[in-house]
Amino acid sequence: MTFAPLFEYLGAHPTLVTILNRTLGVGLTLLAARVVVYVLGVVRDRARARVARERPERDEAAIERAHQLETFIGVAHDVSRIIVYSFVVLTLLSQFGVSVQPFVAGAGLVGAAVALGSQTIVKDFVSGAFLLLENQFAIGDQIAVSSTMSGTVERMTLRITVLRDADGAVHFVPNGAIASVTNRSHRWANAVVTLATPATADVAAVRAALQRAADASAARDPDRATLLAEVVVAGPGAIKGANLEWSLSARAQIGTLAQVRSWVIEDAIRELQQAGVTLAG
């Protein structure tokens, strides 16, 4: 079987060849776009499934972060699809001999106008995306975003972070304005109790009493559900007037600092009283 007659026929009908070439180009373009969109969908579904698998059932902060990641994954997927479809439209137009330069130039002008008019908003969204991806803080963390603004993270979106300070005031901070973050409770935090005893008290007796208090506090949580390590006694660390300063610190789960401090204070007071040591006023 020879294709010579077919080639001769096509050579005599260049218009048909052009139509076939364009049809083949359109088909390949649409097929490639379909494959890319399918791959993007698979990546999105796997990412969401991984987030769902790793999401704890009772940790509200982690659950909120999982929701944020799912939202970010959905937004990234939608933006990727828009880019793919835009490329397909431009490619198809060029296949039919339509000049795409005016469209590209127009899109460039519109993009520049939008960028100039909303550069702050764009910066907020980009910064928010990096805050989520890098996990710099989560719901419930105590952070400081400047020397004058700190508090507990109550809500996070791609554009803003909501903080509530110690006075109860709520701060809505654009993510683009967050240049640096000091996280005081990332994964765990130290519950620190500082107390003072008279300088005339027996240092060895005070240290022994505080160590017994530390052991008693640690014994309250044998399964380490709240305390992540032994309670550490440090001191005397400073002399203030006629008093010596001591500190007890315990690494604890986020959200349990008040409870741990209460344990340590109760045990320290009890052991010091039993040792005959009075706390300095």
Q: Among the listed ranges 42-56, 102-116, 234-248, which one has the minimum average pLDDT value?
A: 102-116
181 by Cβ neighbours in 10 Å (0-12 / 13-18 / 19+) ranks as: middle
Q: What is the mean pLDDT of residues 245-252?
A: 85
108 token code pair: 């460039």
Q: State residue 185's pLDDT score.
A: 72
Q: Alpha-carbon distance 277 to 178, whole Å?
A: 48
Q: State residue 194's pLDDT score.
A: 86
* pTM: predicted TM-score of the whole model, two decimal places: 0.48
Beta strands in the chain (DSSP E): 142-144, 150-156, 160-164, 170-174, 182-183, 188-198, 232-240, 243-253
Residue 124 has pLDDT above 60, yes or no: yes
Confidence band for 60, pLDDT divided at 50, 70 and 90: low
Q: Among the listed ranges 28-37, 174-183, 251-260, which one has the minimum average pLDDT value?
A: 251-260
Confidence band for 55, pLDDT divided at 50, 70 and 90: low
Q: State residue 61's pLDDT score.
A: 57
Q: Looking at the domain that runs over 131-183, which CATH code has it been given?
A: 2.30.30.60
Where do the structural domains in the chain lie, given as residue ranges?
A: 4-99, 131-183, 188-274
Task: Quick: pLDDT tens for 1-44.
Answer: 555 555 555 555 566 556 666 677 777 878 888 888 888 888 88
Q: What is the mean pLDDT of residues 206-218?
A: 88
Q: What is the mean pLDDT of residues 250-255?
A: 77
Q: State residue 42's pLDDT score.
A: 84
Q: Are 156 and 198 in contact, with CB atoms under 8 Å apart?
A: no
Kindly report the CATH class assigned to 188-274. Answer: alpha beta
DSSP 59: -
117 by Cβ neighbours in 10 Å (0-12 / 13-18 / 19+) ranks as: exposed
Domains 131-183 and 188-274 share a fold: no
